[in-house]
Structure 1
Amino acid sequence: RVSMACCLNMCGAVHCSDIAILGYHRKPPMLDHEYMDKMCEIPLAIAACPTAAIKPAKITLPDGKEVKSVSVNEPRCM
């Protein structure tokens, strides 16, 4: 089993895999608010953050549509 996680809290199940790839962010991730709710389970992403740097947010897109997304508190981000 191969898995990948993007921070040290192992939300990608790297602790129970044969081969684990751990990516380490040098900068906080960039967010694409238009697709966030389609690509990610927002409550799980918020719960998985060990430093509480990810918070829920409602974002208004340039076309006026309001979508559910997240905001990242950059100083708290690992």
Structure 2
Amino acid sequence: ATDASGPVKAVMDAVFEDFKSMRLPAPVRIALACCINMCGAVHCSDIGLVGIHRKPPMVDHEWADQLCEIPLAVSACPTAAVRPTKVEYNGNKVNSIAIKEDRCMYCGTCYT
């Protein structure tokens, strides 16, 4: 998933003067979908943005077990590209996840 705040702020900065001077037709719908599932009917908006990841997620094995509920990350992946694994980190075995890059469709569901 794409963080919506950055792209939305950039678009609003670009069209703010048009809103102030009323050069845009009213109402104008601007929407951002954070992945290719396009929740929020982005395709029906006047200005629609779709955030698409282009690379599989990078896993920080130091923090994965502490910040991520690993079973939820595994079950959230629609293509089963995320799997649990144990990794040796600083001499200790830690629970983490592994990404099968060939199965990943870059939806970003594992981020959320």
Fold-level similarity (TM above 0.5): yes
Moved over 4 A (4+): 3-10
Q: Which structure has the greater CA radius of gyration?
A: 2
1:33–1:24 distance in 2 versus 1, CA, 3 Å: same
More helix by share: 2
How many residues in Structure 1 have an aligned counterpart in Structure 2? 67
Residue matched to 2:100: 73
More strand by share: 1
Question: Match of 2:68, as an amino acid?
Answer: C
Note the residue ranges of structure 1 that are not aligned, 5 or more in a row.
16-20
User: How many Å separate the matches in 2 of 1:22 and 1:33?
Assistant: 29
Aligned CA-pair RMSD: 2.6
TM-score (norm 1): 0.70
TM-score (norm 2): 0.50
1:36 CA displacement: 0.3
